[in-house]
Structure 1
Amino acid sequence: MATEDVDDYFVYDTRLASFHAPQAVATKRRTSSANSRAPKALSWPHKTIQPTDMARAGFIFQPLPSNPDNVSCFLCNKALDGWEENDNPLEEHLRHSPECGWAITAAVEAELGEYAREDPRDPLMREARTATFADRWPHENRKGWSCKTKQLVEAGWKYTPTIESDDMATCTYCQLALDGWEKTDNPWYGPASSKPSAS
């Protein structure tokens, strides 16, 4: 996966789209007639495991000839396949990649297990939120700006860019999503233009 593809997959809609269109299958050099009959593209094969749940859990659909339901996390790169009817994508993500920042913050939002009761100031929670920014926060290197990654993380935000906004951040604890951050914005209160509606 190219770096620009990974950047695209930070956006929920792009992850979701990977499940709705047939995905090209990486193939090896053809050495037999069996390989020549292998599909060139595969669609998400499961009816009971919803693409929305997969994308919310951080997964991208990346089928392989031998693993037609292979997915991988856009952040931790953990690949999983062999999905079963009653699997919960977020629970499986946490089971196989318990330190993934995206999975941890999604578990807090979903009030899943002990994660919902963790102290937001706990180092594990701060590290998880920091991981979601992955050195991609567009205002990080702007001189004099108050809304840097460290301050956003301390205030409970995670990075959730959209197709329309590269500076969208979402509170892990109340799910308030804000963009349009400006130089003097305080992460504890959000962007100035959003303060009246955010209170």
Structure 2
Amino acid sequence: MELTRRQTFTNWPIPSVVNPDQLAASGFFHLRLKDHVQCVFCQGIVGFWETGDIPDVEHRRHFPKCPFVTRAHATGNVPIPSPDATGVEGTGGQMAFPHLNTANTRLATFTHWPQEDVGVSGEELAWAGFFSTGLADWVQCFHCSGGLFAWRRGDDPLRDHARYYPFCPYRLLGMGLAQESVKEALKRRVEVKGVLCRSVTEALDYRAKKEG
């Protein structure tokens, strides 16, 4: 997810040389090691940036076969929404990674999961809809493709999934909510108020008040 990648650039050391927004949009996240960044899709690493370097160009030059660069198949990337977008995230019915739609298939991706360092088990993450990307502790939801990382002992994958991706269809189904009802409520909120609801509950409450 582009927004998640952008958050890794909090202490980016050379914003005047290369824009961190452009790096995140090009598939990179900051390794927190000088100016070294890594692509979440091909795991390629680029560093020693110079004035005039363009992230997209450098990405293609160093890693021409990267799926994000070639767009050869769906990567699961979720771009940062534009200012005029409705921001309806995860309300579509189509799964981002249908081949990982069972807990067992997702659990199989955690073979080399660093559980002792992370503090959260692969079983918990798989049950919450996540699969391991194979890159450190970065996981993604098989349905909405939302990504999370920097896990700490005591974190609750189900709770964090709902917190960061409240309108993910997988989470909504787990809560027993009708996807179309929530989608409609969110759209109405955006159209009338110009802002997103902060939670599923807020969206449904708003819809009830409007119809009452």
TM interval, shorter chain, is 0.3 to 0.5
Question: Normalised by the size of structure 1, how large is the TM-score?
Answer: 0.41
